[in-house]
Amino acid sequence: MTARNGSFAPLDPGRRILMGPGPSDMHPRVYQAMGAPLTGHLDPYFIGVMDDTKVLLRYVFQTENDLTIPISATGSAGMETCICNLVEPGDEVLVCVGGVFGDRMAQMVERHGGRLIRLEGASGRPFTPDQVREALAGCRPKLVGLVHAETSTGVLQPLEEIIRIVHEHEALVLVDTVASLGGTPVKVDEWGIDVCYAGSQKCLSAPPGLAPVTLNERACTAISGRKTPVDSWYLDLSLINAYWDGDRVYHHTAPVSLIYALREALVLIHEEGLATGHARHALNYEAFKAGIDAMGLGFFVDAPHRAPTINPVLSPDGVDEASVRRRLLEDYGIELGGGLGALKGKAWRVGLMGQSSQKDHVMLCLGALEETLRAEGHEVAESGVAAASAVYADSP
Ligand SMILES: *Cc1c(COP(=O)(O)O)cnc(C)c1O
């Protein structure tokens, strides 16, 4: 890797099978799109690419929202964009914290001057409508933040009823869909999500570096009614949207190649069909679950609350969690995530996101895990591969 005799080794990471919490695998067409000739960021051809990207993002977000664009930075910047545009100093904001990403949202609210009300969740369980109703009885927030798929725990948060409750209290709803968009339904308009952000590198299977956001009319009205300027120049949505819409005013140089790649990744989702893609994610999760159950391993989250896209699997007693991950990477090129936050050192986080949600990935991962656990001296109950195979055989 390092320079020898004044020259550097050619860049060659080797083959990787990305089954961690993101990035996920990219389709060959997305790699190809990244290599297309650069244009200027105001080139008429590129403006067409931007317009396609907006149309395709509305498709995956299932929304008609005008303001639907990718922010030029990672998912965390999508989070920060939504917060810094909506929160003014002194505004009350309720954040439901069920893991690392809810906590990140809470930190951002405080940094942007919001008066934070933290609702702590039980580890590994979603928030109930009653918990949110109770919290709202004691405050009058402008905004309520939730994480749809909390990547640190693998919990999928049901949203519809909670959104109704939040709207009864006349607050806006902000939802983190970084680890769910493209992998499981996110119905922005039907559910009434006011503000929402995602990340390019998870279930959308584009390279990291872009954060799609979508805001409805209510959210845009809240922004235009601000008394103070947004406290970030780079993430100020009115400035950014003047480039993405209408006058095409220069704001920052768009990351042209990343936007090519995102457009192609979204075209692939559109070609497959959103519902078909969601069904594929659900099936591969079911097969993976059958395999993990058969092997006698445990999930962190109870079955009804699991996200199909990201699942912490508990590392059995006596097994070195990090050593298994190292072997999987060295022997198979498989990347799994380690435990994050409360699960550090205790679990593998297995992502079945976007292009990584495939039968061949599930079978290889289960087989490799089985072999590696035996090599580490842990007896596996039954074959995970056989159990997963039975699920695929039963599926239409
Ligand atoms: C990955 C992730 C983020 C942060 O995205 P980055 O691209 O790493 O900045 C935020 N929220 C959730 C739920 C995530 O999974």
Mean pLDDT of each 10-residue bin along the chain, 396 residues long? 77 95 98 98 96 98 98 98 98 97 98 98 95 97 98 97 98 98 98 98 98 98 97 97 92 97 98 98 98 97 97 94 96 96 93 98 98 94 96 93
Q: What's the pLDDT score for residue 364?
A: 98
In a domain, 138, yes or no: yes
Contacts of 125 (CB under 8 A, 6+ apart): 98, 155, 301, 302, 305
128: CATH: 3.40.640.10
Q: What's the pLDDT score for residue 1?
A: 56
What digits encode the pLDDT tens for the residues 215-256? 999 999 999 999 999 999 999 999 999 999 988 999 999 999
Integer angstrom CA distances of residue 59 from 54, 241, 246 = 9, 19, 21
Listed in order, strand segments (DSSP E) in the chain are 17-18, 67-71, 92-97, 115-120, 143-147, 149-150, 155-156, 172-176, 195-197, 211-215, 298-299, 310-314, 334-335, 337-338, 347-351
Cα of 329 to ligand 1 centre, how many Å?
22
| 307 close to 179: Cβ distance less than 8 angstroms | yes
Q: What's the pLDDT score for residue 53?
A: 98
Same domain, 202 and 295: no
In a domain, 56, yes or no: yes
Closest ligand 1 atom, CA of 200?
A: 7
Domain end point (choices 234, 251, 270): 270
Domain end point (choices 270, 296, 318): 270
Cα of 97 to ligand 1 centre, how many Å?
14
- 329-346 residues labelled b (16+ CB within 10 A) or e (exposed): eeebebbbbbbbeebeee
- pLDDT, mean over the chain: 96
In a domain, 20, yes or no: no
Distance linking the first and last C-alpha atoms of the chain: 47
In a domain, 210, yes or no: yes
Same domain, 200 and 85: yes
Same domain, 262 and 278: no
What digits encode the pLDDT tens for the residues 280-327? 999 999 999 999 999 999 999 999 999 999 999 999 999 999 999 999
User: 164: part of which helix (H) or strand (E)?
Assistant: helix 160-168
Same domain, 33 and 120: yes
In a domain, 1, yes or no: no
Same domain, 153 and 207: yes
Q: Which residues line ligand 1 (CB under 6 A)?
A: 21-22, 74-76, 101, 147, 149, 151, 176, 178-179, 199, 208
Cα of 60 to ligand 1 centre, how many Å?
18
In a domain, 22, yes or no: no
Domain end point (choices 270, 291, 324): 270
| 320 close to 343: Cβ distance less than 8 angstroms | no
In a domain, 69, yes or no: yes
Same domain, 41 and 83: yes
User: Ligand 1, from 155, 159, 178, 258: best to mutate by most atoms within 8 Å of Cβ?
Assistant: 178
Cα of 66 to ligand 1 centre, how many Å?
24
User: Ligand 1, from 76, 174, 204: best to mutate by most atoms within 8 Å of Cβ?
Assistant: 76
Domain that residue 164 falls in: 28-270
In a domain, 5, yes or no: no
| Residue 312, helix vs strand vs coil | strand
